[in-house]
Structures are given as C-alpha cells and as structure tokens.
Amino acid sequence: MIPAAEAWGPFRPDLDPAERIARLRCLRAVVHLSTGPRGQALTDLLRRAEQDPALLPPALAALSGLDPLDKRRVWASYAALNRPAA
C-alpha cells in the first residue's frame, strides 16, 4: 500500500487505468533521461507496472532509493511537465 503522502502522479489510487499508464510513461521517460543506466531498474519497474499495478509500491520504493540528486532531478522534471495549466 502506498501512503497518502506519497500518492502523487501515477501512484494516486483514484486514477483511471489509461491515465495511470500515461503518467507511468511520462515518469519513465523522465527517469531514463535524468538518470541513464543508474535508473534502469526503476525504468523497468515503471514499464512493468503499466500491466501490473501491484508493482507500483516497489517502483515508488526504487524511486525513493535513487541518489538524492537524481531523485530531485526526476521530481523537478516530472512536476514541471505535469504542472496545472494556468
């Protein structure tokens, strides 16, 4: 189970499956571009979580386990791409 404080982006429990897949793909692209080979395990989990939502908690744990600089870059890029329209 994902704690409410960490229920953001594709990890929100109330998402439509198609929206979850779109958000997972966006996050996967950001992780790939921001971390390269260091984030390969996470990108694999995000790809597999598109078909198996049970992999969302391990994917979130892998994201939390990134080096601090990688994590900040991923979060900042994902937030910038998903900022609400003004």
End-to-end CA distance of the chain: 33
Q: Tens digits of per-residue pLDDT, 53-86?
A: 999 999 999 999 999 999 999 999 999 998 887 7
Per the prediction, the chain carries an average pLDDT of 93
pLDDT at 7 over 90: no
Q: How high is the pLDDT of residue 1? A: 65
Task: Say if pTM beats, i.e. exceeds, 0.75.
Answer: yes
Asked if 57 and 1 count as a contact pair (C-beta separation under 8 A), the reply is yes
Q: Tens digits of per-residue pLDDT, 16-49?
A: 999 999 999 999 999 999 999 999 999 999 999 9
Question: CA 73 to CA 19: how far, in whole Å?
Answer: 23
Q: How high is the pLDDT of residue 86? A: 72
